[in-house]
Amino acid sequence: MPLDYDLASLILPMEILPYFEVVHIVKQEERIDLYLDERNHPPKHPNTYLSKGFTDERIIQDFPLRGKAVFLHVRKRKWQERETGHIVTNSYDLTHQGTHLTYEFASFLKATH
């Protein structure tokens, strides 16, 4: 279930929105899980890389919505260099250093304590 870009921009951290798209949402009684896959943007030159699926998901906690905990399940794409066979991924700063929290959520929690 793709999430409309305008709606996503209201609930997702700005550092995630340009690079990832919501591919699935699971709503439970006490939590919301948003599954995000990296958009199909090869590193550097598109013709020198082959898409090789996704990395294991990384779970990041974000601001609660409607009183429910929110968890982002993020998968980055894996790319194989055609010449060398090496597997590479794009690099993103998605969490506050040393945490599994988005920057905005970590800053908010730090300010409240």
**C-beta of residue 33 within 8 angstroms of C-beta of residue 71:** yes
- The mean pLDDT value for 26-36 works out to 93
Q: What is the per-residue pLDDT across 51-63, written as a single tens digit (0 to 9) for each?
A: 899 999 989 888 8
pLDDT for residue 1: 47
Buried b (16+ CB within 10 A) or exposed e, 26-62: eeeeeebbbbbbbeeeeeeeeeebeeeeeeeeeebbb
Greater model confidence, 105 or 63: 63
- The mean pLDDT value for 68-92 works out to 90
Residue 36: φ, ψ to 5°: -120, 135
- The mean pLDDT value for 23-51 works out to 88
Predicted TM-score of the model (pTM): 0.79
